[in-house]
A and B are shown apart, each in its own frame.
Chain A
Amino acid sequence: GAGVSQSPSNKVTEKGKDVELRCDPISGHTALYWYRQSLGQGLEFLIYFQGNSAPDKSGLPSDRFSAERTGGSVSTLTIQRTQQEDSAVYLCASSGDFYSNQPQHFGDGTRLSIL
């Protein structure tokens, strides 16, 4: 079946612009996660959504970052007024109910470069 799909695969933009990254999870998966990997760093948790519960936003690095998940499916991560330190690979993952300890299935990521 179809895996987690992310778009765009690459994004180059100028400092100060807003960007939107999209994630289409595996059908039926109730949990959706966003991570990023900056150069030389490990995978960093940003936010997760579980069903209709309020998302855990504890990993968002600043108020320039926001995410939403519409209809319990597709998610959009928005970065406003981008800065050079936002350059990273942004990964989305989905899983079944995370209380049951299911593995996360990752997309191929969006490589974001801020000039």
Chain B
Amino acid sequence: ILNVEQSPQSLHVQEGDSTNFTCSFPSSNFYALHWYRWETAKSPEALFVMTLNGDEKKKGRISATLNTKEGYSYLYIKGSQPEDSATYLCAYNAGGTSYGKLTFGQGTILTVHP
């Protein structure tokens, strides 16, 4: 059983605060790590697909880093805005015989207060 853990489970921040959360995954058989944002009443939206150890990706105020040797990824949001409120999901792909199979974490629910 592949264990993908996200922390914290939920987070409340004030508008303008910077924040970060963690995704941990098995460090063996790594193929890719995905990040998605899921807003209420919408469909999950892809943020990043990360494949290389030490990878760092950025999209506007959101960035992510990857450490495949120790099995974790961080997602950072700089200067949070109310529209950033959503559930942030990471998903691990072990590759091998499971190329198409993503194992999702439970998500981090972010609420940004104006």
Say yes or no: A56-B44 contact (C-beta < 8 A), given A43-B89, A104-B34. no
Complex Cα spacing A101 to B33, Å: 9
Number of interface residues of B (CB under 8 A): 25
Task: Tell which of A33, A102, A106 touches B43, judged by Cβ atoms closer than 8 Å.
Answer: A106
Give, as a whole number of angstroms, the nearest-CB distance from A100 to chain B.
10
Verify A42–B105 contact, CB threshold 8 A.
Answer: yes
Verify B98–A56 contact, CB threshold 8 A.
Answer: yes
Complex Cα spacing A108 to B101, Å: 20
Asked whether A75 is an interface residue with its Cβ less than 8 Å from the other chain, the reply is no
Asked whether B100 is an interface residue with its Cβ less than 8 Å from the other chain, the reply is yes
Verify A101–B49 contact, CB threshold 8 A.
Answer: yes
Contacts of A33 in B (CB 8 A): 100, 102
Verify B43–A98 contact, CB threshold 8 A.
Answer: no
Task: Tell which of A4, A35, A45, A99 touches B99, judged by Cβ atoms closer than 8 Å.
Answer: A99
> Interface on B for A, CB 8 Å cutoff?
31-32, 34, 36, 42-46, 48-49, 51, 89, 91, 93, 98-107
Selected A-B contacts with CB under 8 Å, 25 pairs:
A31-B100, A33-B100, A35-B104, A42-B105, A42-B106, A43-B89, A43-B91, A45-B103, A48-B101, A50-B99, A56-B98, A56-B100, A58-B101, A59-B101, A91-B44, A98-B100, A101-B31, A101-B51, A103-B48, A103-B49, A104-B46, A106-B43, A106-B44, A106-B45, A109-B43
